[in-house]
Structure 1
Amino acid sequence: MDMEKRPLIKALEAYTNEETSRFHMPGHRNGKRIPSLAFLQEHLYDFDVTEIDGTDHLHYPEESIKASQILLAKAMGSKESCYCVNGSTAANYAMIFGLLRPGDEVLLERSCHQSVFQALGLRGLKPRFIKPKQDPEWALPLPPDLTDIKEACEKYPLLKAVILTSPNYYGKVAPLKEISQFLKRRSLYLIVDEAHGAHFAFSDQLPPTAMFMGAHVSSVSFHKTLPVLTQGAVLNLSEDLQESERSRIRHYLRVFQTSSPSYTMLASMENARAIMEEEGKALYDELFREVGLLREKLTRIPQVDVYGKEDAFADATRLVIKTPLPGEFLMGELRKKHRIQAEMTLGSSIVFILSPFDGKDDLERLPEALAAIKMENEKLWASPVSPFILHYSEDLELLYDMEEILFLEKEEIPVKDAFGRISAETITPYPPGIPVLLPGERIGEKEVRLLCDLFQGSGILKSASKSKMGITVLK
C-alpha cells in the first residue's frame, strides 16, 4: 500500500505503531483489552449497512433500534433515550431547540461547550451568564452551586431554562439534585451537558447521573469514556417532560443529525451498554483500586499535586495533575520520551482520562515517567508558578445576537483602543478556559485592562485576530 497517497492513514498507523499509553478519548483504547469488541471489529464492514428491511430506521425506530433504545433508557434511568451519531453536539442542539423558543432567556456558564453557544445563536436565544468561579489553587473552572443559581434567577426573572455542564472537563460535578428541585419549583428547565459522564450510570463509586439527579434532559458522549466509536452519544429525556416536548426534541434530532447514520457506530453503542451492564461494576471496582494506588504513587513525587484527591463529589477517573513545569512542555515530554499521551493540558495542569480498559502497565508507567522527567528538569521543577486567577466582569452587556454578528462589518483594532466597542470574536485565556469576551459584548474599561494584561502574558490565548495585540470589533 502506497502510504504517500494516504497521508491520514500513514499518520494513524504511525501513532498506532508507537504503542502509546492512551489516556485520552475515545474510551475503547483501540479495543485491544476488550474481548467482546473483537466480534464488532471482525464485522466492521459487514455491519456498515443502511436502512433496509430488517435493520430498522434510527429516526423512526420500530424494530431492533427501538428495542435497543428501550434497553438503553433502562440503563440510563430515563423515560426515553435516543442514540446520537453526530455526538453530543447534535444532542445539545436538539435539547435547546426542542425546549426553547426564539427570544427566550437562558442561564448558562461562560465555560460551556461551543455547541451550546452555537445553538443559542441559531435559535435566537438570550444568554444570561452565571458568574464564573475558579479553584484558587489550580485556576480551573468550578461548577456553580445552588446559591449561584438562586442569585442568577433573582437577577434574571424572565429565565426559561438553565444549562449546566456536569461533570466538567476536570471531573467536577454540580449539585444537580438541589438545583433541579429549586428550578422545578420555578417551572424552569434543567438542561445538562453530561458529555463527560457517560460512565456514571455503571458504578456506584461514581457520581449519580443527571437523570438520577432530576435533570429534564441530558446529553452524554458515550465515546468519551466507554468502548464506543468516536461521535457516538446519547440524548436522555426524563419523565418530567410532556410527550409534546419529547416529540419536539425527536424532531430536532432528525434535523441536526445525518440522514445516513452509521450502523457500526450504533452497534458499538449498544455493545458498550451491554458490556457495562454485565461487567461495569466489576471493571470499575478494579479500576478504582488501581487509581488509588496511582494517586498514592503520584503524591509521593515532590511537587506533583493531584486535583480533587479529597473531593468525594467528583469523578475519580478524571486524573488532573499539576507540576512546576509548563503543561505543554510536560505533555510533550511524556509523549516523546515515555510514549504516554494525555487528553489535554491547561496552564500547568494536565488531564488524563482513566478507563477500566487501561492496562496496569500503562497506569504504572505514568508515575515512573513523571519521576524521570523531574530528574531531567530539576531547575525548572524547583520553580513553581503561582496560578493566575482571572476576575470576570458580572455586568458585560450583550448588544447583538451571536449569529447576527456574522453578517456585520468588522475591523481589527489595537486592544488599547477597544473601550466602548463591540466585540466580534470570542477571546478565551487558558487557564481557565472561560471566555472573557463573547461576540456581541460591549468592551468596558475593565476588559481593556484585562485584555492588555492577557495579551502581554505567557498564557495561551485563543483569539481570531491576526496581530498579537489586536481585537476584532464591529465597525
Structure 2
Amino acid sequence: MGNRRIKILNYRKEKQPGLLERLTEYAGSDAYPFHMPGHKRREIPDGIPGGFPDPYGIDITEIDGFDNLHHAEGILKDAMDEAAAIYGADRSWYLVNGSTCGILSAVFATTENGGKILTARNCHKAVYHAIYLNRLEAEYLYPEEITEFGINGGIRAEDVRKALEKDAMRCAGNSGDVRGKNTKIQAVLITSPTYEGVVSDIRAIADAAHEYGIPLIVDEAHGAHLEYADQCHSFPKSALEYGADIVIQSLHKTLPCFTQTAILHVKGKFVDQDRVSRYLSMFQTSSPSYLFMAGMERCIRYMDGDGRNGMVRYEERLEHFMERMEGLQVLEVLDREICGKYRTVAGWDPSKIVVSTMRAEDFHGEELAETLRRKYHLEMEMTAPEYVIAMTSLMDTEEGFERLGTALLEIDGALRHCVEPEQQKEKGESKEKERCETPEVTESKVLHPVRRMLICEAMDADTERTAFQDTVGKVSAEFVYLYPPGIPIIAPGEVFTDAIVEKIMAYKAAGLLVQGPADPDADVILTLSSEDGNNGCTGPLILIQ
C-alpha cells in the first residue's frame, strides 16, 4: 500500500464522521432550526404524492426539452415569466448561485468600470466584492442606530437626495475632478429589510434616485416572502411595489426552497435588461442545478396558492408568540413599536425575532445563544454581542414557537433571580418609560473609518502581515466582518483606529465569528506596506448627514 493511501486511511480514522453522517444525525435530533433555510427541514405541503422526488432521478443537464437557463426559450422561460407576473416585475431571473450573483450582476449592469455607486454601509459583503471587481468608488450612506436594541435603523431618503444633489453639482462644475464623467453616481444600493427586519422608506428613496435618472437596487434577500403576505396586516410590502428598479431576493432564506436559490427582478425604465442578462451569464454557473430550478418553481407556485393562506396562519403564530413575550422583564424582543418610535424605520418584518440582552447583567448574546442551544436544543440564526436572531418562516410549527417562548421565559426568570428586588423594580419602571417615550436615535452603530484609497487600489497594492493589535494607523488590505451578517467593520483602503481594533478584539474575545482576513484565526491581517500605505489619497470617507 502506498504512502498516499496510508495517509488517507489514517486521516479518515482520526477524523469525525463525514458530512453526510453528521447531517443525518442532526436531522434526526430534536434540535429546532430557528435559522435559514426557510423550509425548516420540512416538505412543502402542496399535495405532491411522495413529496419531492429522489434527487438522483431528476438531476439532469441541458438536454432536449428542458431548456437552458442562460438562453431560456421554453420551460424555464415560462417559469421565470410566471414568477415575474406573480411578483409584479417586468422580468425575473432564477438565481442558482444565491443572491450574491444577483447583487454582482445588478451592480455591473448599472455602473461602468471605474464609476461610482452610492451604497448603504451596512450592505452585504457581496456589494463590496462588486465594488472591487468593477473598480468603483463607493460613497456611503450610514443608517442611524436604534440604541434601545443596539441595531441599525433604516436609510433616510433625505440623505440619498443630499448625496445625489451634491454629486450632481460637483459634476456640473467639474471642480478639478480628474476622473471626469465617470465619477457621477450611477446607482443607489441599500439593504431592506435588514437582517434584523428593519425596512427603509423605499418609495421616498426611489423617488430621490429617479429624480437624477439613477436606478435603485434593493438587496431584499430577506424579503422574498413579503409578496405573499397580502392577506396579512403586519408584514411590509416588497420594494418592487414602492418603485425599486432591481430587487434581489433569497428564496431559501424565508421561503420553503433549497439553500442557494434566489431570484432577481427588474421593473421600470432605469435598467437595461440585456445588461442584467449578460452579467448573470458571467456570474452564474454554466451548469445550473435542475433540482434547484424545479424547487424554485414548486416553491413559488405553492406560495402563490396555499402559501398565501399559510402566511395568515404563520402571522397568527407570530402574534401569539409576541403576546407571550410581554412577560419578559430582563430580556426584550423587538416589536413593531419601533415603526412609530424611530424616524428611520418605515416598516418592520415580524419574521425576525430579535432578542436583546442589553438589560441583563453580565449576560450577552453569545451566552443566550449557547444556553438556547445547549439546554433547549434551539439553534439561532445569528449571534451578536447584544442580541440573537431567531429566523422564522411560514414553515415554523406551533411547537417550535412554543419551545422558543418557553425557553426565553425560563431564561428571563433565571436572570430576574440574579437581580436585587430594587433593581427589578427599576428595570420594570424603565421598561414602561421606554414604551411611552420616543427614544433618541443616535449616529450609526457602524464605525466611520477614514478612507486612504479605493478598495480596488488597496487590494491590488503590496501588503505585509500585521498582528491585529498593531494595526492602528495602518491601511487595511482586507475586509473584516462579523459573519453573519457579513457587513464589513473595515474595508480595504481604510485606516485602522483604536475604536476599530477594540471592536474587532472584543468580538473575538466574545467568541463571535470574525471573518475576512486570509488568516483563519483572524489574529493577523494584511495591511499596506509602509510605502504603499502612504501613497495616493482619495480623501477621507464621506459621511452623509
Q: Secondary structure at the match of 1:164?
A: strand
Taking a change above 3 Å as real, the CA distance of residues 115 and 319 of structure 1, as seen in their structure-2 partners, is same
Match in the other structure for 2:3: none
Match in the other structure for 1:167: 193
Deviates more, 1:315-324 or 1:398-407: 398-407
Q: What fraction of aligned residue pairs are identical, expressed as a percent?
A: 29
1:396-428: per-residue Cα shift (whole Å, max 9, x none)? 224133365145222315656633x32223344
Task: Determine if the alignment matches structure 1 residue 423 to structure 2 residue 479.
Answer: no
Q: CA deviation at 1:305?
A: 1.1
Task: Determine if the alignment matches structure 1 residue 326 to structure 2 residue 364.
Answer: yes
Matches within 5 A, 1:442-461: 442-443=495-496, 447-452=497-502, 455=505, 460=512
Taking a change above 3 Å as real, the CA distance of residues 93 and 11 of structure 1, as seen in their structure-2 partners, is same
The one-letter amino acid of 1:173's match is V
- Determine which of 203, 219, 228 is the counterpart of 2:229: 203
Separation of aligned partners in 1, 2:203 and 2:91: 20
Task: Determine if the alignment matches structure 1 residue 221 to structure 2 residue 250.
Answer: yes
Q: CA deviation at 1:345?
A: 1.4
Query: Which has the higher Rg, Structure 1 or Structure 2?
Result: 2
Q: CA deviation at 1:391?
A: 6.0
8 Å contact 1:400–1:440 — kept in the other structure? yes
Separation of aligned partners in 2, 1:449 and 1:335: 31
- Determine which of 313, 317, 332 is the counterpart of 1:286: 313
Q: CA deviation at 1:187?
A: 0.8
1:250-282: per-residue Cα shift (whole Å, max 9, x none)? 011111111111111101110111111101221
Give the count of matched residue pairs: 468
Task: Determine if the alignment matches structure 1 residue 64 to structure 2 residue 75.
Answer: yes
- Determine which of 451, 455, 462 is the counterpart of 2:514: 462
8 Å contact 2:164–2:212 — kept in the other structure? no
Task: Determine if the alignment matches structure 1 residue 439 to structure 2 residue 492.
Answer: yes
Separation of aligned partners in 2, 1:169 and 1:226: 15
- Determine which of 304, 329, 345 is the counterpart of 1:277: 304
Matches within 5 A, 1:91-102: 91-102=102-113
8 Å contact 2:143–2:156 — kept in the other structure? no
Match in the other structure for 1:233: 262
The one-letter amino acid of 1:253's match is L
Q: TM-score, normalised by structure 1?
A: 0.89
Q: Secondary structure at the match of 1:78?
A: coil
- Determine which of 53, 63, 68 is the counterpart of 1:42: 53
Separation of aligned partners in 1, 2:503 and 2:56: 53
1:64-106: per-residue Cα shift (whole Å, max 9, x none)? 1111111000111100000010000011111111121111111
Separation of aligned partners in 2, 1:258 and 1:37: 29
8 Å contact 2:380–2:390 — kept in the other structure? yes
1:272-328: per-residue Cα shift (whole Å, max 9, x none)? 111111012211111111111101101212222111332451111111111323111
Aligned-pair RMSD on alpha carbons?
3.1
Match in the other structure for 1:258: 285
Q: CA deviation at 1:20?
A: 2.1
8 Å contact 1:192–1:215 — kept in the other structure? yes
Match in the other structure for 2:464: 410
Separation of aligned partners in 1, 2:51 and 2:71: 24
Separation of aligned partners in 1, 2:483 and 2:77: 43
Q: Secondary structure at the match of 2:324?
A: helix
Deviates more, 1:256-265 or 1:398-407: 398-407
Q: CA deviation at 1:358?
A: 1.2
Taking a change above 3 Å as real, the CA distance of residues 122 and 381 of structure 1, as seen in their structure-2 partners, is farther
The one-letter amino acid of 2:501's match is L
Deviates more, 1:315-324 or 1:38-47: 38-47
Separation of aligned partners in 1, 2:374 and 2:46: 30
Matches within 5 A, 1:11-160: 11-32=22-43, 34-36=45-47, 39-157=50-168, 158-160=184-186
Q: CA deviation at 1:182?
A: 1.4
Separation of aligned partners in 1, 2:419 and 2:365: 12
1:87-131: per-residue Cα shift (whole Å, max 9, x none)? 000111111111211111111122211111011100111111113
Taking a change above 3 Å as real, the CA distance of residues 6 and 162 of structure 1, as seen in their structure-2 partners, is same
Separation of aligned partners in 2, 1:59 and 1:381: 61
Q: Secondary structure at the match of 1:281?
A: helix
Separation of aligned partners in 2, 1:284 and 1:201: 10
Q: CA deviation at 1:369?
A: 1.3
Q: CA deviation at 1:468?
A: 8.5
Separation of aligned partners in 1, 2:466 and 2:187: 35
8 Å contact 1:426–1:439 — kept in the other structure? yes
Taking a change above 3 Å as real, the CA distance of residues 408 and 379 of structure 1, as seen in their structure-2 partners, is farther
Q: CA deviation at 1:149?
A: 1.3
Match in the other structure for 2:543: none
Taking a change above 3 Å as real, the CA distance of residues 356 and 109 of structure 1, as seen in their structure-2 partners, is same
- Determine which of 373, 384, 391 is the counterpart of 2:411: 373
Match in the other structure for 2:453: 399
1:419-458: per-residue Cα shift (whole Å, max 9, x none)? 3x32223344699975442111244xxx335534663686
8 Å contact 1:452–1:469 — kept in the other structure? no
1:316-346: per-residue Cα shift (whole Å, max 9, x none)? 1111111323111211221222121111111
Q: Secondary structure at the match of 2:329?
A: coil
Separation of aligned partners in 1, 2:522 and 2:295: 44
Task: Determine if the alignment matches structure 1 residue 347 to structure 2 residue 385.
Answer: yes
- Determine which of 169, 174, 182 is the counterpart of 2:208: 182
